[in-house]
């Protein structure tokens, strides 16, 4: 059993290593997070595949989102998501009032500019897990004040 | 009730897999970014070092282990306390050099390599090289310069995974007067 601290430290190193050097630079800073997002996506997909069978049988979007908030979050961060809101049209907002990967950066607006790169991996991970559960989605994250953050999930209708 | 308990272990397992899978994704990415495996090995070692210098703080705070007086004691702490705490395994310690400055850690099951199969064209990749960096970085923070390297690896067909540890020297810090 790997200790959760290992994941946190590894994540920090990954951010330091991978967020800047993008082999395929596109428009501005936005693109530079795609590598981290891609990594997260793959990990999320694989984690999704390793879920117990019963959970893979989700029919409803909402069940899948609830799963992310409870089980997946508990597996990653040993806690549940603090809030889940939806407009019932495929858009969900997942709120974490003290996102573990941001906690160590302090509270308040001081390091706000640095925050996005610490969220990219997790965005990808949520997206990847949803992909395994059968939902195409766009996941973005926003931070108003550390260490609280919101993940917005938009389910893509095919 | 039993369902609840079941969930708990499920989460623990997933949390461990989260680390293993994330590490795998990282190695994959580095193999894409760098032309040759040597550079990937170096990069993994460097990242491990950065983790190690921070992990030691966490370890000392949580374990209540004091200063080690010789390398044998260090070996014991690494294998029985640190590996246990962070990876949930206890490597065995063997192959002491006569001088007592070298030993081997034998890992029967390396959690970093779950789900891994090395492709043929990466024969010189040391998949778990991060571990060597972690060990080096952490020990450097307690004034020990060591060299850690993989000499056997199950991923490459060896029977066991073996990390060779060599004590180089004690680092003399410019400690403030009166502190030891």
* A3, A35, A47 member nearest B85 (Cβ): A3
Which tens digits make up the pLDDT trace of B16-69? Answer: 889 999 999 999 999 988 989 999 999 999 999 999 999 999 999 999 888 888
A104 CB contacts (<8 Å, ≥6 apart)? A8
| CB-CB neighbours of A100 under 10 Å | 18
Asked whether the ipTM of the predicted complex exceeds the cut of 0.90, the reply is: no
Which tens digits make up the pLDDT trace of B122-162? Answer: 889 999 999 999 999 999 999 999 999 999 999 988 889 99
A89 to chain B, closest Cα gap in Å: 30
| A36 vs A74: CA distance, rounded Å | 21
A92 CB contacts (<8 Å, ≥6 apart)? A65, A84, A85, A86, A152, A153, A154, A155
Q: Is residue B45 helix, strand or coil?
A: helix
Chain A's closest residue to B16, CA to CA, is: A2
* Per-position b or e across B35-59, b if 16+ CB within 10 A of its CB: eebeebbbbbbbbbbbbbbbbbebb
- Find out whether A92 and A8 touch, Cβ atoms under 8 Å: no
Q: What pTM did the predictor assign? A: 0.87
B168 close to A (CB below 8 A): no
Q: Give the DSSP H or E segment for A61.
A: helix A61-67
CB contact under 8 Å between B26 and A3, yes or no, is no
Nearest to A130 by CA among A75, A36, A83, A60: A60
DSSP string, B90-110: --EEE---TTSSEEEEEESS-
pLDDT of residue B9: 62
């Amino acid at each position: 059993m790997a200790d959760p601290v290992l994941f946190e430290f590894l994540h920090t190193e990954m951010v330091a290593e991978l967020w800047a050097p993008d082999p395929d630079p596109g428009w501005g800073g936005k693109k530079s997070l795609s590598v981290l997002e891609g990594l997260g996506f793959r990990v999320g997909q694989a984690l999704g595949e390793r879920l117990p069978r019963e959970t893979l049988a989700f029919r409803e979007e909402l069940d899948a989102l609830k799963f992310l908030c409870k089980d997946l979050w508990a597996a990653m961060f040993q806690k549940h998501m603090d809030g889940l809101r939806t407009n019932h049209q495929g858009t969900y907002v997942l709120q974490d009032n003290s996102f573990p990967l941001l906690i160590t950066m302090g509270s308040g607006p001081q390091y706000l500019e640095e925050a996005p790169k610490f969220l990219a991996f997790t965005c990808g991970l949520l997206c990847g897990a949803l992909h395994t559960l059968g939902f195409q989605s766009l996941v973005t994250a926003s931070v108003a004040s550390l260490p609280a953050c919101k993940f917005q999930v938009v389910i893509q209708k095919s | 009730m039993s369902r609840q308990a079941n969930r708990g272990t499920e989460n623990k397992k997933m949390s461990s897999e989260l680390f293993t899978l994330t590490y795998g994704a990282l190695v994959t990415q580095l193999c894409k970014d760098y032309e040759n495996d040597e550079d990937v090995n170096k990069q993994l070692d460097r990242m491990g070092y950065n983790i190690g210098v921070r992990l030691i703080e966490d370890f000392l705070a949580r374990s209540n282990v004091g200063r080690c007086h010789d390398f044998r004691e260090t070996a014991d702490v690494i294998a029985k306390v640190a590996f246990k705490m962070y990876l949930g395994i206890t490597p065995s310690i063997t192959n002491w050099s006569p001088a007592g400055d070298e030993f081997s850690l034998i890992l029967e099951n390396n959690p970093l390599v779950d789900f891994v199969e090395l492709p043929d064209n990466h024969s010189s990749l040391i998949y778990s090289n991060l571990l060597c960096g972690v060990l080096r970085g952490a020990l450097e923070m307690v004034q020990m310069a060591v060299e850690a390297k993989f000499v056997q690896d199950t991923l490459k067909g060896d029977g066991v995974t073996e990390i060779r540890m060599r004590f180089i020297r004690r680092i003399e810090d410019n400690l403030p007067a009166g502190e030891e």
